[in-house]
Amino acid sequence: MDIGVPSVRNLFRIKLERMILWIAIGITSIPLHLLYNSAVYTSLAANNFLVTLVANNHFEPGAYSNTAGVDHSFREISRNATTGKEYGDIGYQTDSYEIQLLTSMLEGHNASTPSYEDLTPSQCTNLYKADFMSNHRNLFLISNYTSADTHNNTILDMTIVMGDEMSSNSWICYWQRTSIDGNDRHTTPQCNPNEFSSNMAGGLPWQMNLTSVGVIEITGCKSEITNEKCKVQFSLGIMIAVICCNFVKVCSMIMTIVRAREPTLVTLGDAVDSFLRTPDPSTVGICFADRRFIEREWRRGWKTGPRQWKQNAVQRWWTSVSKTRWITCNFCFAIIMIAAAVLLRLGIRNDGQVWNTDLKSMWSRGFGKVNSVSLIAINSRNLNITQASLLANLPQTILSFLYLTYNSLFTCMLSGHEWSLFGHHHRTLRVTSPRLSQRSTYWLQIPYTYAIPLMILSGLLHWLTSLSLFLARVEISDPFGREISATKSTAGYSCIAIIFVLTLGILALLIAAGMGYRPFSAEITTVGSCSAAISAACHTWGADSESIIGRKVRWGMWESYRIWG
């Protein structure tokens, strides 16, 4: 059996009741890792908004504005639900204050309303370059074009911007026209909103090219001010699943405490104390047996007689860890690192369609920040909240199981180091229930000088992972502040956070390799976590076992006879 480290092999050698309890605690951990972080979540708000390009005399008294330049989308969403009439129809009216406000602005009658604020072109681009517009809504772009007479329409063009679409802020570059086969068509060139805003701040003009009036320049803006909206929500289904899993865990822990009365072998000291009290007759005479000898020969009944002690080269900490554990941990690390690197590459390629992909640009986009580009689309559809939560928290579950294998490496190496100290000098045993001069075990199983950095490393990895892939839920409102059913639930990602996770993961592997290269304090048989090898070293010669129980012990020769070993 394995002593002091998590081992699936031990499950087949313990009581059925304890095995069931262990499985119950382990299985209920999986849903908690997948769902717990998303039981309570926040949702962002985004506004769809209308961008209207007008002449510089649109808001002047006497200017004439008709409905010819009004976009069809505006006509549709402002339709009167009772009469079915659209804006511009004879007899059209609406009871919505927001629609009335916008129509009065379209007609140039309400230029001084406090609901709209005047912005410079630089302020306008800096404000509307945001991915999700939450505190402003409809926008009027005032050009330097002057209407020829009072009967010429002052609305030059209009478009509706969907706040939840990818590159929703690229409308800034929308009014560019090109002639293809004699037909004027809209083109949307590659536009970096941050770069465009920087150009405006540097004094460059904001120019547009319209077929109807030619090249014009934006001289000012009027932006509608709105109240920001946000919600703290919880998923009833996820909450029920979390409560049920926690209930099963609590019941399993209570049953373990109430019914588990027999002694346990939790630490290396527990095993040594047990074998000193009750020697195992099957391992008598092979006190020099190490873990490899037990696995290759003794377990199969080969060459189980006395062995001669041979002086070996310097023994390293890594020898106390089985090859299976090393291979499992490194293989899992390698697979996850490769998968993360591939996903990072795909994310950078996707972001590169809109943004720069240098480190400075990725850093400016932040850690765990929801934006309209870095979102995961599956079959071009939105996910429900449960699906999005499972997708966002899947790396957390994988990371937790990976950390178990990583922690077991350190547990084995530090257990081997503790074992080697018994060959260097007399030491008291570290046991679960100490008696006499025995010491109590560590609360975290391994020394705090190692346990605390490992916990910090685990916390950093989980935190950075939560910023690398996260739940993104955005609720969309129409240009008049009415909530619509287009709620976006998916998972977002952050390329810069993924880079930090990969860097920290590689560093963790290098730390484990460096620790494994450290030499033991004294030359002694390498038992690892193998119970049979520990048992073989715990046969006393020339001394009564009861006389050394609870006292300091040492492996090897002492005063012409062997006390332990």
pLDDT tens, residue by residue, 500-541:
999 999 999 999 999 988 888 877 888 888 888 888 888 877
Can you give the pLDDT at residue 91? 64
Distance between the two ends of the chain, CA-based, in angstroms? 20
d(CA 337, CA 343): 10
Q: What angle do CA 204, 210, 214 make, to 5 degrees?
A: 80
| Residue 259 burial (CB count, 10 A) | 12
Q: Quick one: angle between helices 16-35 and 385-421, nearest 10? A: 130
Q: Spell out the domain ranges in the chain.
A: 14-43+240-303+321-477+484-564, 48-225
Query: Is the Cβ–Cβ distance between 552 and 427 less than 8 Å?
Result: yes
Q: Which residue has the tokens 């020898």?
A: 319
Q: Helix 448-468 crosses helix 495-516 at what angle (to 10 degrees)?
A: 160
3-state secondary structure of 275: helix
User: Is the CB of residue 145 less than 8 Å from the CB of residue 49?
Assistant: no
Q: Rounded to an integer, what distance in angstroms lies between the CA atom of residue 21 and that of residue 392?
A: 29
> Has residue 201 got a pLDDT over 70?
yes
**One-letter identity of residue 263:** P
Q: How far is CA 337 from CA 249, 374, 425, 462, 494, in A?
A: 32, 20, 42, 15, 16
More confident residue, 183 or 428: 428
What count of other Cβ atoms lies within 10 Å of the Cβ of residue 234? 12
Q: What is the pLDDT of residue 254?
A: 92
Contacts of 552 (CB under 8 A, 6+ apart): 426, 427, 428, 437
Q: How far apart are CA 208 and CA 125, in angstroms?
A: 14
Q: What SS3 state is found at 417?
A: helix
The tens digit of pLDDT for each residue in 35-59 reads 887 788 777 788 888 888 888 888 8
* Residue 512 DSSP SS3: helix
Contact (Cβ atoms closer than 8 angstroms) between residue 326 and residue 316: no
- Within 13 Å of residue 257, how many CA atoms lie on the same side as its CB? 6
Contact call for residues 265 and 509 (beta carbons, < 8 A): no
- 238, 24 Cβ separation under 8 angstroms: no
Measure the CA–CA gap between 467 and 311, rounded to whole angstroms.
Answer: 52
- Residue 377 clears pLDDT 60, i.e. is over it: yes
Tokens of residue 10, six digits? 């031990």
With pLDDT > 70 as the criterion, what percentage of the chain qualifies?
82
Taking CA atoms, 475 is separated from 44, 167, 407, in Å, by 6, 17, 41
- pLDDT at position 165 over 60: yes
DSSP secondary structure of 188-215: -----HHHHHHHHHTT---EEEETTTEE
Report the length, in residues, of the chain.
565
Mean pLDDT of all residues belonging to the chain: 79
Grade residue 175 by pLDDT with cuts at 50, 70 and 90.
Answer: low
Closest CA to 494 of 374, 382, 399, 387: 374
Q: Give the integer Cα–Cα distance in Å for 34 and 153.
A: 57
CA pair distance 351, 124, nearest whole angstrom? 24
Give residue 243's pLDDT band: very low, low, confident or very high (50, 70, 90): very high
Characterize 170-199 residue by residue with b for buried, 16 or more Cβ atoms within 10 angstroms of its Cβ, and e for exposed: bbbbbbeeeeeeeeeeeeeeebbbbebbee
**Cα 256 from chain centroid (whole Å):** 33
For residue 84, CA distances in Å to 81, 91, 102, 259 come to: 5, 11, 19, 73
| The amino acid at 186 | H
How would you label 263-298 residue by residue, b for 16+ Cβ within 10 Å and e otherwise? eebebbbbbbbbbbeeeeeebeebbbbbbebbeeeb
Q: What does the H/E/C string look like for 40-74?
A: EEEEEEEECEEEEEECCCCCCCCCCCCCCCCCHHH
Distance, CA of 288 to CA of 524 (rounded, Å): 9
- Max distance between CA atoms of the chain, in angstroms, equals 118
pLDDT, tens only, 276-325: 888 888 888 777 778 888 877 777 766 666 666 666 667 888 888 888 88
Angle at the Cα of 502 from the Cα atoms of 498 and 506, rounded to 5 degrees: 170
pLDDT at 187 over 50: no
Choice among 10-14, 163-167, 203-207 with the minimum mean pLDDT: 163-167
What was the pLDDT predicted at 503? 92
